[in-house]
Structure 1
């Protein structure tokens, strides 16, 4: 069990906002480091793997949050929560497609930000302190995919499959409930630890990325979309088929 404070990197060019959010998060028990440029954030994240979560503003002068995300995801799988404008749906989708774990619209309520960070940590840690829930370790094999929730590793033919925190949880949920249709609402709650929001595309994008990564390893058509409902991982007895 982790006993030290969870460490958060907060990246936003608004220094006043950073100070306010940092003060609140520290009062919530987090250790917080703040940076105000994309260049500084990229350099810090590529040099260290000490952060439990990164809170990253998309709209920054110079190197944008999306630029940071692209650079970091090439080498690190640290969970990243994007801060976006309330109506910036395109930026949200692009960020998710590039590997962000989730997003939160600005201006954000500090309590909501803290809750989102805790949700991200809850799904990436096996044994959580501070009253957070724990889940049993599960080892699952299906369609040549091997998942271990203890080490949070995914393998295909003994080759590591790189997955973000959200992607790992989504694939794990689908595999452990193979043959069952899981609603988008339930998947969002169980994978992202938050309710499904209006016009919420986060889960759709995470599933799309999982499919692309499986396809690159020769595993196709094992995750079925149930139109208007949700998703289903086919069992090995079910024939692979295209989405409805």
Structure 2
């Protein structure tokens, strides 16, 4: 494959833990070419790629990078405040976005979708790019039809600032979409410590843990007469997200709007 046919990719937040992992994964892909890195913490104008052994543009401003190198795709793993601007600035320049940034709510995503629709620019936002996690979201929607009780436990590294995680919320939405009514929930009459049962939404108990040693772990426990059914996905390291990121970059070029979630990109969608 010639360089002309390769997808040119810019990585926002390139010096962060996810950004640096994305950098390696994209640099290893035969059909992609890393052309720029953006990070507010950068103090240099170039970044060396050890795999392809070349220097690329490095800057603090996404808009400056977009104007300088005109990539096909921007990959962004930052936060909601930054991500909203990434989507707008990229779409305005005809550049597609693959984002795993946390904290975007439905209103944010609706605004981004409207902007993408207006400009006919494809974008992908997913709460989790690990294939196993996407399957967990999907299968939770199927299982929710057959059980009336459920607890969701998610745990992440101690630096994660939002709770519950975006993946947990995607699991919750999948389970709600998969059934006609709320889950049943035990009523605690004597709660000795406040909030011991965790958060609650439509009968789903949601528990969040933040501690060193974790990357991302999601466990769904359904309960029924005489049985429990448990599904668990554990990301041991950030490399678990990279196959999904690469799939997202390849597929976003064929889209003309915002797609939320990686399920349809992988060939399946949430059960109704």
Give the TM bin, normalised by the shorter chain.
0.3 to 0.5
Q: TM-score, normalised by structure 2?
A: 0.40
Q: TM-score, normalised by structure 1?
A: 0.44
Higher helix fraction: Structure 1 or Structure 2?
A: 1
